[in-house]
Structure 1
């Protein structure tokens, strides 16, 4: 796979490392204590008796038949069902009827799967409530385990092949993120804990684990951690103010309404805030790590840059990053809500009423609050990184012990002339003629660069 050309991050002065340790370690311990207090202890799973049993099977035969006419249509005549109609023979692979061939109707209706011979499907056993000894099978959906496993394997292989050890660490961080979400955040909210508090603690826990696991325990990573944590807190405060000012209730979608019927102890307003924080975490990590790395690389490329120069240069990079990230956030929210947005386009209400409806107002608040948190992350992280990077010297380039760094030897005049000639593709030295030094306006310089 080739050699890894990743350049190690320069070590920070001991005093700076001690300050970062004193700052970061208490925050990490506080996060662990808060997670231990909020950790859900009474996690009741779903009652398996409420769900019909599901079994795997393989389609062995499909018979399509004409659909019988319906009794009446709105026009008064006879009509036919939407179809298709017929029977499907399935080889059952699990359950009490494993090994048997069973017949089931061809699935119909919106979203019904298209069945063919050889398809691996999932059967649902429906029991007659009047006669528990009588049951029938229906086809619910296709089995998707194998294609998903191949896709995940390709995803992991591509990350490791490109990122090498850093890619492997990123996969470990991704697994840790899902572990925190599945074992702490979701059960904690289901148990009736404050969704906002659970989301903040869970996001902080994910941040500590993922950033240090992926980028190492360096001063640069600690700066990114502090910038992310500060931006998360600010995002939570802004989200609270925005949802309160817009009087959002959290009942802006069918999923939220359904959840309120099954779990009455979940605070949907807090759940909305929790979604904003969790959704902002991934992009915040990207911005803070990029800004910390940018300051470090600039300082390493030109040690003579002052703290203010480092801040200004890295902030220009941050502006370009934010300009593209804002579009990413809005499109991500819009893409996840396309079906509802299409329904809203067919709404006969005025545009002003549609935009201020609960659902769209909720999405606008999500995008705006996440963007404000990102914008705040750039100056916060860049300023911290500039302070940490220049902590071993003052702004004039003098090191912390009072000695100025040795000046770099200037190249000889002949060496500079040769370098300029190589870059410009025409003579620039004192012996060059004026005609040679004048560039040809019709000459294409694309090949040179």
Structure 2
């Protein structure tokens, strides 16, 4: 049996045993989100397609699958979804500006050696491609942060229905602060885990610390981490505000 298939079956069994029906839906959602990413990438190959618009559409669809398919449609997932979309739009504007300013788009010197036989005139805006890539890398963490704040806020309001909007908002921000550090560190160490071979290669090439820091491939990944961290930080007050407004206004118990 193929190793990947075996691991997928083990993952499915564990997710069903631990999460039950929701665990099975989460497993299916992985493949649905993967399909959305693949389709989006193929559409981006068309020079007439706008990667930014495609990214917004794909991120929205991924958020719908992650929130509504797994957790059903309720006040918690609705506020988490709205918070995610707002954060994505803000991040896209910021990331596009940073990409144009830092010029991290395109291929780095370390990657050019293997691609010199190919033409680089492919008619695709790499600034928008990099912006799309960074958003796709952070959408999971942003959605996770939104539901992690909205869900306990709903529980707080359920047990304390007379709580004021301001107090509920503060509770949401407090929850976000507790998980902000762990989520940010997860992204940071995921980078070093995924690019450990690259760092070893830098050492074999006798790169100085300054050359590593200023290399395009390293800067691109660090900017991705920073933007993901900014997205996680931004979504805390956004989710807290929207959820507090929705719960207190509707009196949802």
Tell me by how many angstroms 1:158 deviates. 0.7
Which residue in 2 is equivalent to 1:212?
Answer: 68
Structure 2 residue ranges without an equivalent (≥5) = none
Matches of 1:255 and 1:185 in 2, distance apart? 25
Indicate conservation of the 8 Å contact 1:291/1:381, yes or no.
yes
Which residue in 2 is equivalent to 1:186?
Answer: 41
Which residue in 1 is equivalent to 2:153?
Answer: 295
Tell me by how many angstroms 1:271 deviates. 2.2
Aligned partner of residue 390 in structure 1, secondary structure: helix
Tell me by how many angstroms 1:229 deviates. 0.5
Tell me by how many angstroms 1:199 deviates. 2.0
Comparing 293-302 with 250-259, greater Cα deviation is found at: 250-259
**Of 311, 320, 324, which aligns to 2:178?**
320
Label 1:186 to 1:356 Cα distance change in 2 as closer, same or farther (>3 A): same
Matches of 1:354 and 1:340 in 2, distance apart? 10
Which residue in 1 is equivalent to 2:97?
Answer: 241
Matches of 1:220 and 1:344 in 2, distance apart? 46
| Alignment partner of 1:388 is 2:222 | no
Indicate conservation of the 8 Å contact 1:224/1:292, yes or no.
yes
Which residue in 1 is equivalent to 2:162?
Answer: 304
Structure with higher helix content: 2
User: Which has more radius of gyration?
Assistant: 1
Indicate conservation of the 8 Å contact 1:176/1:210, yes or no.
no
| Alignment partner of 1:332 is 2:187 | no
Matches of 2:118 and 2:133 in 1, distance apart? 19
Aligned partner of residue 291 in structure 1, secondary structure: helix
Which residue in 2 is equivalent to 1:261?
Answer: 118
Matches of 1:380 and 1:271 in 2, distance apart? 26
Tell me by how many angstroms 1:260 deviates. 9.4
**Of 174, 177, 198, which aligns to 2:30?**
174
Matches of 1:376 and 1:391 in 2, distance apart? 23
Structure with higher strand content: 1
> RMSD between aligned alpha carbons?
2.3
Matches of 2:169 and 2:117 in 1, distance apart? 48
Label 1:258 to 1:159 Cα distance change in 2 as closer, same or farther (>3 A): farther
Matches of 1:340 and 1:248 in 2, distance apart? 17
Aligned partner of residue 244 in structure 2, secondary structure: helix
Query: Which TM-score applies when normalising by structure 2?
Result: 0.90
> Would you identify which runs of 4 or more consecutive aligned residues in structure 1 move more than 6 Å?
none
Equivalenced residues, count: 249
Structure 1 residue ranges without an equivalent (≥5) = 1-144, 394-398, 400-449
